[in-house]
Structure 1
Amino acid sequence: MTPQPNPEQTPTPDPATGAAVKAADRAHVFHSWSAQDLIDPLAVAGAEGSYFWDYDGNRYLDFTSGLVFTNIGYQHPEVVAAIQEQAAKMTTFAPAFAVEARSEAARLIAERTPGDLDKIFFTNAGADAVEHATRMARLHTGRPKVLSAYRSYHGGTQQAVNLTGDPRRWPSDSGSAGVVHFWAPFLYRSRFYAETEEQECARALEHLETTIAFEGPGTIAAVILETIPGTAGIMIPPPGYLAGVREICDRHGIVFILDEVMAGFGRTGEWFAADLSGVVPDLMTFAKGVNSGYVPLGGVAISPEIADTFATRPYPGGLTYSGHPLACGAAVATLDVMAREGIVENAKHLGETVLGPTLATFAERHPSVGEVRGTGMFWALELVKDRETREPLVPYNASAATNAPMAAFAAAAKKNGLWPFINMNRTHVVPPCNITEPELKEGLAALDAALTTADEFTTSG
């Protein structure tokens, strides 16, 4: 069915303006991660809450949260008002000064970070947060190498993209960035021939220990992991894995960095995914949900030991817009709204009572669903051709020519008024953390219908 506009939420269709917006985009905007002549971006007219709409009046329930950042939905009125108030008070100011919005944002973030990560270095986004975290680790240890996992994404800047473990790294891989990749646990597609979570955890830790031994512990500055890998597939680490990595790092004097850019600020039903394991890293990167993406902001939360390294020694790094007042004002308002409205609790509750159980029924009824995994508002469906062999519905890093099944699934979802998150052979279910139960059930019904299209491409479909 065609998405139906909500008269209270969707403006009158205006195809002429939409065509003009689209024409200007195609003439002048250079899009990321895209072959420019092969894309057809939707012209978006507006957004509110969990929905957005186009200039033809088609309304979509956003199961992507933008790029997994609108944790409080679009256009939350209190955060919009706070941005307007901050703009009237102080739109911008240089980072070397103490500014109220910056100080308060840092205080509120430090209140929520695990353990004693109480110093906050602000960046503009997640990628440069990763850049600075790895720089801090190298300077703190005096060592050159950083270990990161395959099946990971850490950002698009030079160091961050080399740390990334998916194909987006390949065109920019310098081969000399001081990065070594290893396999993190993922039982469904185990690299360790494991049959249980306990085996997967033990063998993954042994693999990491061996990698460190052969690379030379004295050469390794840091191990960086997404606490729960996001774009790579939302693989929740087995019990004990992160604690095991923490122990290995401690034993070898290696800095442990957790990347919470996507998983942080309520996405997992906790303030941070690290809270699920009780593990405290030495450095933690964040962005996205810190202010729901309303104004670009990221940062690094820093342990006392690493902060002390730069107590009398200058830290050789910074950004013109570090702790930008407008972005920090948005963060203060977002964190206040999240606490007052119980948004983290909502993500946890609906994840446990609605989202997880409903997705489990999809795995029972749809032959295309090989595995369901996730927590809070952070879930992935592994789509397969054959459940027995676990062959992906499309090949790894599929080309346009081999991606037809996923393209057909996505088109079916959009036809039903659902905007899906698609990556390789997976669809991720990552709606705003403050989505309502009726909205969530609406989206799940549309997803259920779209999966019948994916089923057509299975060996038993």
Structure 2
Amino acid sequence: MAVEGVPVEPVGLGAGGDARARDLDRHVFHSWSAQATPVDFVLAGGSGSWVWNEAGERWLDFSSQLVNTNIGHQHPRVVAAIQEQAATLTTVAPSAAHRVRGEAAEAILDLAGPGFDGVFFTNGGADANENAIRMARLHTGRDKVVSHYRSYHGNTGAAVVATGDWRRVPNEYARGHVHVFGPHLYRSEFWASTPEQECERALHHLRRVVESEGADSIAAVLLETIPGTAGVLVPPPGYLRGVAEICRRHGILLILDEVMAGFGRAGSWFAHHDEDVVPDLVTFAKGVNSGYVPAGGVIVSAPVRATFAGRVFPGGLTYSGHPLAMAAIVATLAAMREEDVVGNARAVGEQVLGPGLADLAARHDVIGEVRGRGVFWALELVADRATREPLPAAVVGALKADLLRRGLLPFVAENRLHVVPPCVITPDEARTGLTIVDAALGAL
């Protein structure tokens, strides 16, 4: 899907610009990093599914940066909307009504489907989950939140404690969080050998934890519809419906985190639409405007909104519904609809990425499993297929460096290579990326 009005070929500005950028970067305190390790990779521009540095070197973006540029880089319609809004009103207090904020909420609710009655806007995904937890606790009068060990929900107080991976441990300051194992047949915690067994046993595990914790003490179950950073763990059929039934039985709210999976990434507007589940709260960010301006939010069901009809919700952000972010949302969703970006993501997944990655797995023993949908895939890399021993970190690091040398910008996490290009990627671009991955895996 070509992006009209934006040059695909970068204008080479010379390696000096990259050197200057690296020099200035030493003043930046980077996320999730040891600060003595220099950042050598420099980006200066992008278009569609491609990015480049100031020297004119180009990479096919198979990372979507942090799995957020769903509409691709520098979509002219979104850029123009931001520019137009900046010329009109650059900021407005959240207590004031503003047309573009209302338009953004209306566009999101139209995609969310029936049962939802409002959107609480945030600055990103972490504070979306933070405020969803707050709403659930106030709505139910309960305290505990149940979430998965294999998960990531953000880096703020409650969100990072709801997270299941290693980043939770040095940040455990929030109260009332309980973790369970979700389904992951390839590395099952339940001795399962089929998806049906994995689903049944994972639901039994959740049910027993809920009962043992005291169901009437649990405000919410918070799950990523498809856990992303943890490995694109597509749940087995029936799992999310089973979770919803457990929640309904005990008056527990179901919060589905669609920060990474939503807005086309999984080949549908929201990943839970494919699971026939209606949650009480949906959190989003990233793909809603491809990260062009920071934005996130909570899609609120009618019963939860009614709780705060005459009761003050004790939460808010200075930049909630920031005009530039809202203009980017309105333009992004309109362009995605008109250009059938979600349909493109689903088709590329079904016709190119899915079959292509399966072919790679058949030819490279280092791939233990392929899983995903849409433009949301992961390759589980192993040193031994029989034992499923994860590929060592040093080898995965070497693979990442080789992919960069070959012109592909990868997303690597632990022993996995995630294949997460923009939703606008063309079939030919997807095949180009698979060819590069094939060559790099062969070199291992």
TM-score category of the 2 structures, normalised to the smaller one: over 0.9
Cα distance, 1:221 vs structure 2: 0.5
Q: Deviations over 1:368-418 (max 9, x none)?
A: 000000000000000001111111112xxxxxxxx2100111111111100
On the 8 A contact 2:48/2:71 being kept in 1, the answer is yes
Query: What's the counterpart of residue 40 of structure 1?
Result: 39
What's the secondary structure of 1:71's corresponding residue?
coil
The yes-or-no answer on 1:133 pairing with 2:123 is no
Alignment of 1:380-395 (within 5 A): 380-394=378-392
Cα deviations across residues 408-434 of structure 1 (Å, max 9, x unaligned)? 111111111001100000010000001
Partner residue of 2:412? 422
Distance in 1 (alpha carbons) for counterparts of 2:148 and 2:81: 39
Please name the residue that 1:58 is paired with: 57
1:449 match: 439
Partner of 2:24: 24
Selected match of 2:423 from 408, 428, 433 = 433
> What is the Cα deviation at residue 251 of structure 1?
0.4
1:127, 1:41 → 2: CA distance?
A: 28
Where structure 1 has 5 or more consecutive residues not aligned to the other structure, the ranges are 1-6, 395-402, 457-461
Provide the C-alpha distance between the structure 2 equivalents of 1:187 and 1:419, rounded to a whole number of angstroms: 29
Aligned residue pairs total 439
Alignment of 1:366 with 2:360, yes or no, is no
Counting aligned pairs with the same residue, the percent is 59
Measure the CA separation in 1 of the matches of 2:372 and 2:323: 34
**2:249 equivalent among 242, 248, 251:** 251
Q: CA contact under 8 A between 1:119 and 1:303: conserved in structure 2?
A: yes
Q: Which residue of 2 aligns with 1:333?
A: 331
CA shift in 2, pair 1:225/1:8, >3 Å: closer
2:164 corresponding residue in structure 1: 165
Contact 1:45–1:53 under 8 Å retained in 2: yes
1:105 aligns with 2:95: no
Distance 1:307 1:41 in 2: 47
SS at structure 1 position matched to 2:204: helix
Write out per-residue CA displacement over residues 132-187 of structure 1, whole angstroms, 9 at most, x where no aligned residue: 0000000011111100001100001111110101111121123x521000000010
Structure 2 CA distance, aligned partners of 1:241 and 1:114? 21
Task: Give how far 1:346 is off.
Answer: 0.2
Secondary structure of 1:44 counterpart: coil
Contact 1:120 1:300 in 2 (8 A): yes
What is the root-mean-square deviation of aligned Cα atoms in Å?
Answer: 1.2
* Structure 2 match to 1:399: none
Q: CA deviation at 1:21?
A: 1.4
Conserved in 2, the CA contact under 8 Å of 1:286 and 1:299?
yes
Contact residue 360 and residue 372 of structure 1 kept, 8 A: yes
**Matched residue type, 2:431:** K
- 1:3 maps to what in 2? none
SS of the equivalent of 1:337 reads helix
**Which residue is 1:400 aligned to?**
none
**CA contact 1:111–1:118 (8 Å) conserved in 2:** no
From 313, 316, 320, give the equivalent of 1:318: 316
Find out whether 1:288 has 2:278 as its counterpart.
no
Is the 1:242–1:279 Cα contact (8 Å) retained in structure 2? Answer: yes
C-alpha separation between the residues in 2 aligned to 1:273 and 1:114? 13
Residue 8 of structure 1, CA deviation: 5.2
The one-letter amino acid of 1:47's match is: G
Q: Is the contact made by 1:114 and 1:274 (CA closer than 8 Å) also made in structure 2?
A: no
Contact 1:187–1:195, Cα closer than 8 Å, also in 2: yes
- Matched residues in 2 for 1:17 and 1:349: separation? 39
SS at match of 2:145: strand
Q: Does 1:235 align with 2:233?
A: yes
4+ long deviations beyond 2 Å? none
What is the distance in 2 between the residues matched to 1:432 and 1:39? 27
Mapped to 2, the partners of 1:368 and 1:312 lie a distance apart of 58
Answer yes or no: is the 8 Å Cα contact 2:25–2:39 preserved in 1: no
Report the Cα distance in structure 2 between the residues aligned to 1:255 and 1:24, rounded to whole angstroms. 46
Question: TM-score under structure 2 normalisation?
Answer: 0.97
Determine the C-alpha separation between the residues in 2 that align with 1:238 and 1:257: 18
Q: Deviations for 1:273-311, whole angstroms, at most 9, x for unmatched residues?
A: 001101010000000000010000000000111100000
Structure 2 unmatched runs, 5+: 1-6
C-alpha distance in 2 between matches for 1:39 and 1:144: 42
- The amino acid of 2:439's aligned partner reads A
